[in-house]
Amino acid sequence: MTGLKARACATALGLLFATGALAEGDTIKIGVLHSLSGTMAISETTLKDTVLMLVDQQNAKGGVLGKQLEAVVVDPASDWPLFAEKARELITVDDVDVIFGCWTSVSRKSVLPVIEELNGLLFYPVQYEGEESSKNVFYTGAAPNQQAIPAVDYFLEELGVEKFALLGTDYVYPRTTNNILESYLQQKGIAAEDIFVNYTPFGHSDWSKIVADVVALGADGKKVGVISTINGDANIGFYKELAAAGVSADDIPVVAFSVGEEELSGLDTSNLVGHLAAWNYFQSAESPANEEFVAAWKARMGEERVTNDPMEATYIGFNMWVNAVEAAGSTDVDAVEQAMIGQTFPNLTGSTAEMLPNHHLTKPVLIGEIRADGQFDIVSQTEPVPGDAWTDFLPESAVLEADWKTLGCGMYNTETQTCVQMTSNY
């Protein structure tokens, strides 16, 4: 009788634990790692809202692998070390299967060692400086050859710019991008003394001297253009100072890599008409898919809310992840990573995005002029361009290749034919 009771008790416990495991695993958890406070909240809060919308839309379709998706939202508060802590918490405590997050490269660099150590999966949706390819990261924003280089070409070929002011926030993305651009410009025949480089801290507000220096750059009559890698709410002060100084786009055009519809929605854009931004998507893009996306966003968030490029990158990455999980039949990171390579999904500008073996997308390059209503007139658009993880315009990078499908390496030296261990370029 005691043995029967013991077996019955063991069976009951087994059923209890099995039921608990089932209940615990009846959703697929998605980490959302974006700043909801601090200097970057102006840009990142929208991406949190985008992921939540995509999760709800996917759940309405039946979820993924027969399970509902559950978003786990954290706020790293524009604090770069906190991004690493929150990423670790999402993976080890919240047990998420994937993370959508980061905006600045310094936040991504903070997260990278944690993601690699714990074999997590990060989708990074913002244009960046390149010079990286991790097995655990999919880069759905633009590499320099999909934004920065084409923007410089537009200045050179279409606007006749002869002198360049490279203005950036002081962290890895602007510094690395401008290092690439300085090399590229000199290869294109621009003298070193005709390139002015300046960096300011996050949240910088006093732009009077810097704008005066840019204006002075054209004292010899040569056409000056500004390449802006200024990030976050510092853009507000920069554009206000341009307007206060009476600088128009005809005088000194600015092309921004981090200013889109969301950032402009908080500004008086009347004096910014004609200045430019280089992205891979604008809300004003004409396609049925974009019309549907914009309508869904406004229905959810309000008519005044705008869409922007990192939202599209999030949209593409999210849908590719869903398809890769379905193809793999699992949320296992290694299986999903392999299933992601070669995934295609319609972008919002009318063509198709493809995930390459270097974990970067093919993306069209768009140049837009700022309108008085804070939207952009698209003045230039290319066919999709394959993202290049390692630039051709720095000698040390030109020999490197990333290929996670055939070579199983993100930093393969084509000269020595060896896989090099990637190190942080903070």
Q: Is residue 319 part of a domain?
A: yes
Statement: residue 8 has pLDDT above 70: no
Residues 224 and 180 in one domain: yes
The Cα diameter of the chain in Å comes to: 102
Its pTM stands at: 0.88
DSSP letter string, 322-373:
HHHHHHHTS--HHHHHHHHTT-EEE-TTSSEEEB-TTSBBEE--EEEEEPTT
Q: Distance (Å, rounded) from C-alpha 194 to C-alpha 224?
A: 9
Question: What is the DSSP code (8-state) at residue 424?
Answer: -
Q: Is residue 97 part of a domain?
A: yes
Q: Give 132's pLDDT tier (boundaries 50, 70, 90).
A: very high
- Of the listed ranges 11-25, 88-102, 265-279, the one predicted with least confidence: 11-25
Q: Which residue has the higher pLDDT, 179 or 260?
A: 179
Q: Which residue has the higher pLDDT, 223 or 262?
A: 223
Q: Are 242 and 253 in contact (CB under 8 A)?
A: no
Residues 238 and 353 in one domain: no
Residues 152 and 266 in one domain: yes
Residues 33 and 139 in one domain: yes
DSSP letter string, 265-324:
TTS-GGGTTT-EEEES--TT---HHHHHHHHHHHHHH-TT----HHHHHHHHHHHHHHHH
Residues 119 and 153 in one domain: no
Number of domains comprising the chain: 2
Over residues 58-113, the pLDDT tens digits come to 999 999 999 999 999 999 999 999 999 999 999 999 999 999 999 999 999 999 99
Over residues 163-201, the pLDDT tens digits come to 999 999 999 999 999 999 999 999 999 999 999 999 999
**Residue numbers of the domain that contains 242:** 146-279
Residue linked to tokens 């020595």:
416
- Element spanning 12, H or E: helix 2-24
* Average pLDDT rounded to a whole number, residues 248-261: 92
Mean pLDDT of the chain: 92
Residues 32 and 155 in one domain: no
> What is the model's pLDDT at position 423?
63
Q: Is residue 400 part of a domain?
A: no
Q: Distance (Å, rounded) from C-alpha 387 to C-alpha 275?
A: 25
Q: Is residue 374 part of a domain?
A: no
Instruction: Supply 179's token pair.
Output: 């290092």
Over residues 313-359, the pLDDT tens digits come to 999 999 999 999 999 999 999 999 999 999 999 999 999 999 999 99
> What is the model's pLDDT at position 240?
86
Residues 272 and 185 in one domain: yes
> What is the model's pLDDT at position 351?
97
**Residue at a domain's end among 258, 279, 300:** 279
Q: Are 166 and 196 in contact (CB under 8 A)?
A: yes
Residues 112 and 166 in one domain: no
- The CATH number of the domain holding residue 210 is 3.40.50.2300
Residues 244 and 296 in one domain: no
**Residue at a domain's end among 279, 309, 337:** 279
Q: Is residue 16 part of a domain?
A: no
Determine the 3-state secondary structure of 244 from DSSP. helix
Residues 33 and 156 in one domain: no
Q: Is residue 316 part of a domain?
A: yes
> What is the model's pLDDT at position 155?
97
Instruction: Supply 347's token pair.
Output: 């972008």
**What are residue 74's DSSP bridge partners?**
33
Q: Are 364 and 280 in contact (CB under 8 A)?
A: yes
Crossing angle of helices 309-328 and 333-340, in 10° steps, is 110
Q: Is residue 28 part of a domain?
A: yes
CA dihedral for 359, 199, 393, 421, sign (positive or negative): negative
DSSP letter string, 103-154:
-SHHHHHHHHHHHHHTT--EEE-S--------TTEEE-S--GGGTHHHHHHH
> What is the model's pLDDT at position 257?
93
Q: Are 400 and 140 in contact (CB under 8 A)?
A: no
Q: Is residue 272 part of a domain?
A: yes
Over residues 372-409, the pLDDT tens digits come to 999 999 999 999 999 999 999 999 999 999 999 999 99
**Residue at a domain's end among 254, 279, 304:** 279
Residues 317 and 343 in one domain: yes
Residues 155 and 138 in one domain: no
